Structure 1
Amino acid sequence: MLPVSDPPPFSKPKSADILDRKHSVFTSLKPYLSFHHNRRAWFFLSVLLLQLLLLLSAPSLPFSLSAATAPTPHSSAALPNITYSSRAAGEQASAEGILNNPKTEEKCPYGEVYVYELPPLFNTEIVKNCDNLNPWSSRCDALSNSGFGKAATGISRIVPEKVRGAWFWTDQFSLEVIYHNRMLNYRCRTLEPESAAAFYIPFYTGLAVERFLFTRNSTTEERDRHCNLMLNWVSDQPFFKKSYGWDHFITVGRISWDFRRSKDGDWGSSCIYMPKMRNITRLLIEKNPWDYFDVGVPYPTGFHPGSVADVTLWQDFVRSRERHTLFCFAGATRGFIKNDFRGILLSQCYSEPGSCRVVDCGGSKCANGSSSILETFLHSDFCLQPRGDSFTRRSIFDCMVAGSIPVFFWHRTAYLQYQWFLPGEPESYSVFIDRHEVQNGTSIKSVLDKISKEKVKSMRAKVIEYIPKLIYANSDQGLEGIDDAFDVAVEGVLRRIKEQEGGYKWK
C-alpha cells in the first residue's frame, strides 16, 4: 500500500480564560451571598455595590475597548497586479456582527474565508517565469487568462455558436491559478482574519515544483525548497499557530503522489510529509484516498461558462445530441508497461469499428484537449476511462461534460476520488467493468449492448445534471444560483471545519 500521512493525535480545546475568571470571581463572592451571613458581610457587600454604581455613572471610561483587538497575520509583500474583492475592508463585519447577521449566515452558512497575502515568490513570480517552468516548452499560454488558457479555436462546427466563447484550451495542471483568482472574488471572502472560519494559502504548489520534477539531476532540496519556505512563512502567522493549521487549506494542481517522496532517491517532493503541512487540507486533482486531509477535486476542462444561460444552453445541447457510436476511447498506449491495459482497450475498439470510435493520443496530440476529442465524446453513448499515468485522468471530466457516460475499470479512478462532486450511486451515472475480466477476454461491447435504452437515457440525464459541479465558471463571482466545482470544493472545506466546532481538534 502507498504511504499515507500519519494522523496527528487529538487534543481537546482548552476552555476560554474568561470563563475561568468568571468562575473564580463567583466562587470568591459566594460566601457573602448567604442570607445567614453576619451584618459585617452585608455592609461589605453594600459598599461594593455602591462603588459599582459610581463607576457605571461615570461620563467615560479611562480606556478604549478597541485597543483590545486581536493581532492580524502579517505579510512580507502584497500580491502585485491582482484586483481584490470589491468589498472594502471597512464594509467587513466584525466577528460578532457576522454571527448576528442573518444575511451573512444565509449567504455563507459555514462562515467566511480569509486569503493570505503571500510574498510573490510563492505565486505571481512563478507565473511571470512561465517560460522556465517546463524543460520542453513554455507554459505561458497555458497559464494565461486566469489559468483558463487561450480561447478554443476550430470548434465552430462542433458546439453551438452562443457558447463558443465559453471554450478554452485549458491546461489540466492550471488549478492553482484558477482557484486563486476565484478566491480573491469569492462571495464568502472576508478581509478580517478575526472573523474567518477558514484560511486559504494561495501557494502554487504544483507549478513551483514542476521544473524540478522533469529536470535531470534536480536535487531533493530544489524540489522541497518552495514548500519549505511557504510553510515557514505561514506557520509564523498567529491564526495558524492558534489552530495548528487545522482550519487552513491549499490547492494543489498536481496529483498527491508528486508530493509524497519518502526517500531522497525517489520521485517528487516531500511537501505533504513535512510536519507543518500535516493539518492543512489539500484540494488536489488526485488524492490519496486514505489521507483525511487530501480532497479530490475535478481536473479543469475546457468549458468555462460565464453565465447560467451558458450552462443551460450547453446542457440542452448535449441532451439532444444524436449519438451514433456505442462507445469510444481517447488515449494512447503505454508501451513501456507490461500487459498495458490501454493497449487491450485500443485493440477491442479497433476490432469493432462500427461500435467504437478511437482518438489516438500518441505523442502530445491531445494535450489540453482537442476538437477531435470533444467531437468523439459528443458522438458516443459511453467513453472508456482506464487509469492514466496515475489512477485518474482529465478525460473523465471531458467525457462527462460532453454528456457521455464514463466506463471505469478501477474504483480509484473516480469512486474513491471525487465524492463531493459525483452522484453517491455510481451505477446511476457510470458503468464499472473489472479490468481483470477484460484482460481475460470479456467483450466491452457485449457488456454495453446489454444496457437498455431507457437505462442509457437515465444515466445520461444524471451525467448532464452534474455538469455544473464538474466545471470552473469564467466569472469572478461564480454563477448566480448554481454551484460550480469551485463552490462545491470551498463550501465543502468550510462545512467540514464548521462540523468540528466545539469538538476535538487535530494537534
Structure 2
Amino acid sequence: MAVSVSKRRLRSSKKTELEKEEKHKGHHRILCSSIQHFCSSFCKSILFRIPLAVLLLFIVYLWSSSSTVVSSNVVHICISSRDGGTAISGAGKTKYVQKENLGRVLDRDNKTVDVPKENLGSVVDQDHKKDSGESRAKNENLDLWEIESGEEEFRYIDSKNEDEESALKALSKYLQLQRSWLVSGIDKNNIDDKSGSCKGKGIYVYDLPSKFNKDLLGQCSDMVPWTNFCNYFKNDALGEPMENLGKGWYRTHQYSLEPIFHSRFLKHQCRVFDENQAKLFYVPFYGGLDVLRWHFKNVSEDVKDSLGIEVIKWLGSKQSWKRNAGKDHVFVLGKISWDFRRNDKFSWGSRFLELQEMQNPTKLLIERHPWQINDIAVPHPTYFHPQTDNDIANWQIKIITKPRRSLVSFAGAARPGKAESIRSTIIDQCKSFPDEKCRFLNCSDGGCEKPETIIDMFQESEFCLQPPGDSPTRKSVFDSLVSGCIPVMFDPYSAYYQYTWHLPEDHRRYSVYISKEEVKGRGVNVVEKLMERSAREREDMRSYIVYELLPALIYGHSDSKFQRFRDAFDISISGLLEKIGN
C-alpha cells in the first residue's frame, strides 16, 4: 500500500533535488542534526583531547553511515535506522522503496517520520510533476532503487514460451523508446513549456482535396445504419453542447478524433505555409471515417482500400514527402490500428497501414498495434473540451469534492459471443451487491445513450470497471479518469501498453489491476477485492488523477487559450516534434 506523508498539493517552486542514500552494512545509529551545530558542539567538548587523525576518521564514519539532504541553504545529516529501513526524501517529494524493516523519512517540512514496514512496497511520488526523459533516468537509477526499470517492473503477462517472452521484451523496448520521445523535463501542466519560440518547430498542414476529409463529413447521415452522425460533427466535431454538465461539455463521438485534431492543427501557433520551413508535416486524411462508412456495407475490398491508396499517390507527387520518405509526416486516425490492417482471415477494415509507403510516417490512433513502433496511442476523445484554465480548474474542484456514493460502477454490456470475455462475470458480481457497493448501467438496452447518465454515475463512484470490449481499449477509461473515478483494468493492453505520452509508466498511481485470469479462472470477486482498498489510498489516487493527469487527457476546444495547462493535443505535438527531431 502506498503511503503519503502529505496530502497537500505541492508547488514546483519548492522543489529541491532528490537526495541520494548510500547503502552500507552493519548497525547504524539514529541522528538528525545540522552539520554546523554538530561540528561546533563536538569541537568545544573534546577536540583538544583527540588527535586530529582520529577526529577525521570518526567524522568519516558518521558521514558514511548517514544520508545527506540539501534543503534551501541548510545541509542535514540523517543516520538511518538500525533496522535498515529505507526511505528517500527531498523537499516536496518522497519515495519509499521496499525493505525488510521500518524506514524513517524526512517529510516536506524536514521532520522525521516513521513509515511502518507494511506500508513500504510501492513507489510514491508526491510531487505533482512527472519526471520524464533524462531527469527521470537520474532520479530512478537502478542501483539506487534496486528495482527493474521500465515495463519489466510491471509484468502483467506470464509468457508461455520463448516466442511470447521475446514478444513481451520487444513490446517493453518499444514502449520505453516511445516514452523517450517526450521532451525531457516537460511539466504537462505548465504552459511555459509550450509558449516558447517556434523556431525549428514549423508545422505544415497539407491542403488535401476535400474528398479526403470534408466530403467524408458530408456523408454523416449514411455513415452507419443506426446512427446519424451529423450532430456529432457540429462545433468542429465536438458535437452539441451539454449545458446541464457545465461549460465545455459536448456530445462528442468516440470516432471524432480526426476532425478534432485537424481543427487544432489549423490554428496551431507554429503552423507555417512554406514547406521548406516545416519540421513536421500533417496529412489531414480522415482514414477512420473512410473505414467506418464501409463497415456495414457490402462492398469489395478494392473499394475499401481505394481512398487510402489515392492519398498515398497524391503525397507521392510532393517533394516534401519524397525528401524523407514520409518519416517527418504524421497521420491522425480515429479508430484502432487493427481497422487499418485487414488480413486474409477477416474482411473488416482496410489495408491502409499495411501499405509499404505507410511504414515510415507516424500514426496517432486511439489504439496502437503493440509491435509497431510508429503507432502512437493518444486518448479517446472525452465529452469535456474546455476553453480556459478556469474551465479546467473549476471542474477539478467540483470532482475532487464530489461525494462518492457508490464504491464500484460499471457501464457496459455483456459479450455472450466472446468466450474469453469476463463481462458477464463482473456484471453478475456487481448485481449481487446493493447500489452503494456496485452500480451497473446496462448499455445493451439504451442505458448509455445519454452521456450525462454515464458521467453522473462515474462522478459518484470510487472505482469504474473497465473490462475489454470489442478491442482492449475503451473510451470509458478516459471518461472515468476525467470524472475522478479510479479505473479498474483487467487487460494491460487496455491502457498500460498503449498511452506512453499521456499516462505515467507506474500504472499503480492512477488505476487498479485485476487480471482476467483471476476473475475467470480463480473466482476472484472484483467488488470484494476493491473493498480492501483504504479510503486514504482512494483519496491519494483520485488527487493524482484530478490534479496531475486530467488536463493532459482532454482535448481543449479549437479556440482554447490555456495559460497554465497543457492538454492532450499539446502533449501529442511535443512528442511528435521530439520524435521527428530524433
TM-score under structure 1 length normalisation: 0.74
How do 1:208-227 and structure 2 match up within 5 A?
208-215=290-297, 217-227=298-308
Residue number in structure 2 paired with 1:504: none
SS at match of 1:267: coil
Higher mean displacement: 123-132 or 374-383: 123-132
CA distance in 1: counterparts of 2:421 and 2:527, whole angstroms: 19
How do 1:165-244 and structure 2 match up within 5 A?
165-215=247-297, 217-244=298-325
Residue number in structure 1 paired with 2:120: none
- Structure 2 counterpart of 1:390, which letter? S
Residue number in structure 2 paired with 1:269: 350
Aligned partner of 1:137 among 227, 246, 262: 227
CA distance in 1: counterparts of 2:262 and 2:561, whole angstroms: 13
Contact 2:330 2:362 survives alignment (8 Å): yes
Q: 1:338 to 1:284 in 2, by over 3 A?
A: same
Residue number in structure 1 paired with 2:479: 398
SS at match of 1:166: coil
SS at match of 2:247: helix
Residue number in structure 1 paired with 2:531: 449
1:211, distance to aligned residue in structure 2 (A): 1.6
Q: Which string of whole-angstrom CA distances, capped at 9 and with x for unpartnered residues, describes residues 55-106 of structure 1?
A: xxxxxxxxxxxxxxxxxxxxxxxxxxxxxxxxxxxxxxxxxxxxxxxx9993
Residue number in structure 2 paired with 1:421: 502
Q: 1:139 to 1:326 in 2, by over 3 A?
A: same
Bigger radius of gyration, 1 or 2? Answer: 1
CA distance in 1: counterparts of 2:439 and 2:418, whole angstroms: 24
Q: 1:452 to 1:110 in 2, by over 3 A?
A: farther
Residue number in structure 1 paired with 2:214: 124
Q: 1:220 to 1:309 in 2, by over 3 A?
A: same
CA distance in 1: counterparts of 2:475 and 2:234, whole angstroms: 19
CA distance in 2: counterparts of 1:416 and 1:142, whole angstroms: 29
SS at match of 1:330: strand
- Structure 2 counterpart of 1:172, which letter? Q
- Structure 2 counterpart of 1:175, which letter? L
In the alignment, structure 1 residue 463 sits paired with structure 2 residue 553 = no
Aligned partner of 1:381 among 443, 459, 462: 462
Q: 1:289 to 1:282 in 2, by over 3 A?
A: same
How do 1:406-417 and structure 2 match up within 5 A?
406-417=487-498
Residue number in structure 2 paired with 1:359: 441
SS at match of 1:253: strand
Q: 1:454 to 1:137 in 2, by over 3 A?
A: closer
Contact 1:199 1:249 survives alignment (8 Å): yes
CA distance in 1: counterparts of 2:312 and 2:276, whole angstroms: 21
SS at match of 1:407: strand
Contact 1:235 1:276 survives alignment (8 Å): no
1:109, distance to aligned residue in structure 2 (A): 6.9
CA distance in 2: counterparts of 1:378 and 1:104, whole angstroms: 31
Q: 1:391 to 1:371 in 2, by over 3 A?
A: same
Identity in percent: 37
CA distance in 2: counterparts of 1:127 and 1:113, whole angstroms: 24
Contact 2:224 2:292 survives alignment (8 Å): yes
1:110, distance to aligned residue in structure 2 (A): 6.2
Residue number in structure 2 paired with 1:335: 416
Higher mean displacement: 395-404 or 338-347: 338-347
- Structure 1 counterpart of 2:247, which letter? G
In the alignment, structure 1 residue 491 sits paired with structure 2 residue 574 = yes
1:322, distance to aligned residue in structure 2 (A): 1.1
SS at match of 1:305: coil
- Structure 2 counterpart of 1:392, which letter? T
Contact 2:361 2:374 survives alignment (8 Å): yes
1:218, distance to aligned residue in structure 2 (A): 1.4
Q: Which string of whole-angstrom CA distances, capped at 9 and with x for unpartnered residues, describes residues 153-207 of structure 1?
A: 6xx3xx4xxxx13111100000001000110001121112111111000001111
SS at match of 1:326: strand
1:363, distance to aligned residue in structure 2 (A): 4.6
SS at match of 1:359: strand
Residue number in structure 2 paired with 1:301: 382
Q: 1:347 to 1:497 in 2, by over 3 A?
A: same
- Structure 2 counterpart of 1:318, which letter? I
- Structure 2 counterpart of 1:492, which letter? G
Q: Which string of whole-angstrom CA distances, capped at 9 and with x for unpartnered residues, describes residues 218-271 of structure 1?
A: 110111011000011012110110000000001001111000012285321000
Q: 1:400 to 1:119 in 2, by over 3 A?
A: same
In the alignment, structure 1 residue 111 sits paired with structure 2 residue 193 = no
1:127, distance to aligned residue in structure 2 (A): 1.1
CA distance in 1: counterparts of 2:461 and 2:444, whole angstroms: 21
CA distance in 1: counterparts of 2:195 and 2:480, whole angstroms: 37
Contact 2:387 2:557 survives alignment (8 Å): yes
- Structure 2 counterpart of 1:327, which letter? V
CA distance in 2: counterparts of 1:105 and 1:190, whole angstroms: 16
Number of aligned residue pairs: give it. Answer: 391
Report which structure shows greater RCO (CA 8 Å, sep ≥6): 1
SS at match of 1:323: coil
In the alignment, structure 1 residue 278 sits paired with structure 2 residue 359 = yes
CA distance in 1: counterparts of 2:562 and 2:431, whole angstroms: 42
Contact 2:301 2:347 survives alignment (8 Å): no
- Structure 1 counterpart of 2:412, which letter? G
Contact 2:502 2:571 survives alignment (8 Å): yes
5+ residue gaps, structure 1: 5-102, 500-507
Contact 1:305 1:474 survives alignment (8 Å): yes
- Structure 2 counterpart of 1:136, which letter? W
Contact 2:352 2:358 survives alignment (8 Å): yes
- Structure 2 counterpart of 1:453, which letter? A
Q: 1:478 to 1:490 in 2, by over 3 A?
A: farther
CA distance in 1: counterparts of 2:366 and 2:251, whole angstroms: 18
SS at match of 2:343: coil
CA distance in 1: counterparts of 2:446 and 2:357, whole angstroms: 37
Higher mean displacement: 473-482 or 288-297: 473-482
1:214, distance to aligned residue in structure 2 (A): 1.4
SS at match of 1:106: coil
- Structure 2 counterpart of 1:458, which letter? D
Contact 2:247 2:391 survives alignment (8 Å): no
CA distance in 2: counterparts of 1:393 and 1:252, whole angstroms: 16
Residue number in structure 2 paired with 1:56: none
1:306, distance to aligned residue in structure 2 (A): 1.2
CA distance in 1: counterparts of 2:409 and 2:345, whole angstroms: 41
